[in-house]
Amino acid sequence: MSIWRQYAEGIEECKRSINLSKLDWFRYVDLISAYGATGQLETAQQVLVELKTIRPDFTIRWFQQIGYARSSNPQFRREYDDIVEGLRKAGVREE
């Protein structure tokens, strides 16, 4: 399976999850990251506006601190950093 297909499937799953619960902010993060990683920057920014209504304090630094506090496992952190990289590509502010 290609990486682009995996992103497309992930995007659809995030959308379904958000439709079930608009208060689960983590799904928005995954969706923004996937849009950023695939170059869909305008759409990522639209979803970021929605996230900011739930988590106005959201920044990359804040998100990294949460993730790194959850686990020191190197594999977990690599995967978490992949999400962060997508957020950066999407234009989420650092601090």
DSSP string of 14-69, one letter each residue: HHHHHHH-TT-HHHHHHHHHHHHHTT-HHHHHHHHHHHHHH-TT--HHHHHHHHHH
**What is the structure's pLDDT at 3?**
77
Q: What is the 3-state secondary structure (H, E, C) of 57-79?
A: CCCHHHHHHHHHHHCCCHHHHHH
Whether the per-residue pLDDT at 2 is higher than 90: the answer is no
pLDDT tens digit sequence for 23-47: 899 999 999 999 999 999 999 999 9
The first and second tokens of residue 32, run together, are 């923004």
pTM of the entire structure?
0.92
